Each structure stands twice: as structure tokens, then as C-alpha cells.
């Protein structure tokens, strides 16, 4: 089993271009898995992409388009784009000030359990935010990371949505670090009504959080939880 994970930080990159890149990496791993049937010595690759997207709304395959509260013209006025995509989950927003992580892993190198995969991704974020003094948790039946669960002030700080086929993953998580939360007013985030969205800088009461520092903490916890070697 190959537990090496190739890390790339793509900087700010268009959503569609990044999605196409994910699909190419995903297809390459699936091809390696097919070849491995006849050549057991072949190892399959793993990748972890960090990226920041320009303003974009994405709707998962089980999502409801009515959760987007903007017309095409209004999207254009806000400088935002919209895509229907092939991950799970409903609608979400990506934009500047948000750390997006896309692990493209062959889970057969780690464990074959999608539920465990999602819980460990959540745990990496929960442990990261704990380093900033925030007590974050899961909300039953709602993938992602939250604060104030069970109170009238429940708020989501990290959204998650993945796709997996032949035990190969794509898409991932979006952690609000210095995000403009006003863009979430244009959707019903993740299709969940009546719950707010927050960002790390808001929770800490500061203008700006060091995003590179947050990334390093995420990677530390990700590599520990997955017993992975980042290269």
C-alpha cells in the first residue's frame, strides 16, 4: 500500500479548471488500479490539492437548484459563477479567504470505508480549529464541522462533499478562514435552513488569520489521522 500523498498548492485557480485537473488525476489513479490487476507490483498514486477559488457556487448531484437564490444576471453582477457538479451534498460557496482541500486518494492504500474517510476529514479540521481555541464538532446527519451544535447559535465553519468511485476519492472540504460571509446570503447553504455560517477570523475576532499557518496545521492532522506521508 502506497501511503505517500503528493501535495500541491494551486494558489487561486478557476473552479472549472481545478475540477478538470481533479478529474484527470482521478482518471489516472483508476487507470493504475486497472493495470494493477495484471501487474500487482504497480502502486497507485494519492494527491492532496490546496486551492482558493474565485467566487463560485457549486451544486452537488443530489442538490436542489432552488437553494440558489440568484438569477444568472445577479450571479454576473456579483462576479460569481455556478456549476452543477458530481460530488455529494447540496449547494455551497467557494471564494477568496477560504481554504479548499481536495484529497484524491486511492482508499485501498488506507482503508475501504467512505464513512470513516469523511469522519477523519472532519476530525482533521476539528483538531486544527482546536489549536485556535475553538470547540468544534459534528452535527448529527449533517456532514461538515460546526460550532454551537444544539444551541440556537449553531453555525457551520467547514463544508464537505466528496465523490468516490472504485475507492478513489475527489472533491473534499472548504474551511472558511477569512471568507466574505455575505456571499452565503445568496444560497441556502448545504440546503439547511435556519443555520448560520461562520469564518475563523470572525470566531477569533480578528481581521485576518494566517492562512498558510492554518494549512500547515490541517496537513499535520491529516497526515497523522491517515498515517500518510506528504511529499
* Residue ranges at the known binding site for substrate: 87-94, 159-161, 172-174
Strands 4-12 and 229-230, how do they pair?
parallel
SS3 content of the chain, % helix, strand, coil (to 5): 35, 30, 35
Mark residue 15 as left, alpha or beta (left: phi above 0; alpha: psi -120 to 50; beta: remaining).
alpha
Q: Which whole-number Å values give the CA distances from 18 to 14, 45, 75, 123, 149, in the listed order? A: 6, 18, 20, 25, 32
Question: For the chain, how long is the longest CA-to-CA vector?
Answer: 56
Angle at the Cα of 140 from the Cα atoms of 196 and 154, rounded to 5 degrees? 20
Distance, CA of 94 to CA of 135 (rounded, Å): 24
For residue 190, indicate whether it is catalytic.
yes
Distance, CA of 118 to CA of 198 (rounded, Å): 21
Binding-site residues, please?
A: 87-94, 159-161, 172-174
Annotated catalytic residue: which of 25, 190, 197, 209?
190
Distance, CA of 65 to CA of 178 (rounded, Å): 27
Give catalytic residue positions. 190
Amino acid at each position: 500500500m502506497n501511503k505517500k500523498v503528493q501535495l500541491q498548492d494551486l494558489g487561486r485557480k478557476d473552479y472549472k479548471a481545478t475540477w478538470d485537473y481533479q478529474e484527470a488525476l482521478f482518471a489516472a489513479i483508476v487507470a493504475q488500479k486497472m493495470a494493477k490487476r495484471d501487474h500487482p507490483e504497480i502502486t497507485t498514486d494519492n494527491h492532496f490539492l490546496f486551492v482558493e477559488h474565485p467566487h463560485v457556487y457549486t451544486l452537488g448531484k443530489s442538490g436542489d437548484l432552488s437553494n440558489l437564490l440568484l438569477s444568472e444576471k445577479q450571479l454576473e453582477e456579483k462576479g460569481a459563477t455556478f456549476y452543477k457538479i458530481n460530488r455529494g451534498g447540496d449547494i455551497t460557496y467557494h471564494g477568496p479567504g477560504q481554504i479548499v482541500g481536495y484529497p484524491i486518494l486511492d482508499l485501498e492504500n488506507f482503508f475501504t470505508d467512505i464513512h470513516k474517510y469523511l469522519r477523519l476529514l472532519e476530525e482533521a479540521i476539528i483538531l486544527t480549529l482546536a489549536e485556535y481555541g475553538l470547540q468544534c464538532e459534528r452535527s448529527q446527519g449533517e456532514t461538515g464541522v460546526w460550532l454551537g451544535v444544539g444551541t440556537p447559535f449553531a453555525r457551520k465553519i467547514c463544508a464537505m462533499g466528496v465523490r468516490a468511485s472504485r475507492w478513489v476519492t475527489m472533491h473534499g472540504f472548504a474551511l472558511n478562514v477569512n471568507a466574505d460571509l455575505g456571499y452565503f446570503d445568496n444560497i441556502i447553504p448545504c440546503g439547511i435552513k435556519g443555520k448560520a455560517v461562520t469564518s475563523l477570523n470572525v470566531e477569533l475576532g480578528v481581521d485576518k488569520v494566517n492562512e498558510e499557518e492554518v494549512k500547515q496545521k490541517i496537513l499535520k492532522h491529516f497526515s497523522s489521522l491517515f498515517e500518510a506521508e506528504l511529499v
